Amino acid sequence: MIAYVIRRLLSTVVVMAVVAFVVFSLLYLTPGDPAAVIAGDIATDEDIHRIHERLGLDDPFVVQFGRWVAALAHGDLGTSIFTNLPVTQLIGQRIEPTVSLTLCTLVVSIAVALPLGVLASAKAGTWLDRAVMAFSVLGFSVPVFVLAYILILTFSVQLDWLPVQGYRNFRDGAWEWLRHLILPSIALGTVYVALITRITRASMLEVLAQDYVRTAQAKGLAPGEVLISHALKNAAIPVMTIIGIGVALLISGAIVTETVFALPGIGRLTVDAILRRDYPIIQGVTLIFSAVYVLVNLAVDLSYALFDPRIRY
């Protein structure tokens, strides 16, 4: 297993190198000039040219890429063109809200979706199953921002139960932290709930049709025990897979959610950087995202062994 993990970690480096090159190339080719943004609306050609020179933006692609890779090799993701702050510091400032949002969403989604999926499969063909599936379709169909506005209007503006926007650090108190994450997590998690519910239901239906389930039922085990201890455990692997794949969905959804709820997370950092052509931030964040995505999928692969002892690496 250790050899497998090392192999996968090494492949992560290769993936990140490819991502780094592609992103750098794309940014180089994309229209947009940070010097023009820095100079502001009332700038002249001369002003922009001066900033170009200072930032080395006129250097050839190879020189710019080489400079970035050399800094990266020393663990330096560069400095924001606009704020003059190190990219690592900016990402550090933003990582907690995004991790909190993602974790809360994952917890809420799994806590809601697994029981719903199991319930729907156990009551397949009944009104309950249809209701769960209808909810699932709705969850897929409603855009995150629409749901977010409805939640804000209902729970923040009308009922005044939860804050409209912003984020509180975990160390400032768990309740304040949680209060600021409830609505964003629901908004972001709904599509994820829909996805996991459908997969759980489908996977459970397949397992419930197996002989050993029938045997367990014939032996007189309680229906709940059959569902949880026998069926769900064996249906878990496709569900785990979809949770891993869904991380990409969460990352893209987090960008919208963070914007609507004004959460100072990495998603917003990325969007702002793209709009302003703050290249070092875009490159740094993309690298981090790609690493997270690969590592999450590695963790999911390793988790298979926890659910199915037959799997060995």
- Binding residues for another protein, per CB under 8 A? 31-33, 36-48, 50-51, 54, 80, 82-85, 90, 93-94, 149, 152-153, 156-157, 160, 163-166, 170-177, 259-262, 264, 268-269, 272, 275-277, 306-307, 309
Q: In the chain, helix, strand, coil percent, each to 5?
A: 80, 0, 20
Rounded Cα distance between 313 and 301, Å, is: 10
Residue closer to another protein by CB (options 48, 288) is: 48
For the bound state, the minimum distance from the C-beta of residue 44 to another protein, rounded and expressed in Å, comes to 7
Least Å distance, CB 262 to another protein, is: 4
Q: How far is the CB of 65 from another protein (least distance, A)?
A: 20
Taking the least distance from each CB to another protein, the nearer of 188 and 194 is 188
State the minimum distance, in angstroms, from the CB of residue 277 to another protein: 5
Q: How far apart are the first and last CA of the chain?
A: 5
Rg (CA), the chain: 24
Q: Where are the beta strands (DSSP E) in the chain?
A: none
Decide whether 10 or 107 has the Cβ nearer to another protein: 107
* In the complex, least distance from residue 283 CB atom to another protein, rounded to whole angstroms: 16
3-state secondary structure 177-230: HHHHHHHHHHHHHHHHHHHHHHHHHHHHHHHHCCHHHHHHHHCCCCHHHHHHHH
176 C-beta neighbours (distance < 10 Å), count: 15
Nearer to another protein, 97 or 121 (CB): 97
Q: Which is nearer to another protein, 86 or 238 (CB)?
A: 86
Give me the residue label for tokens 């800094």: 71
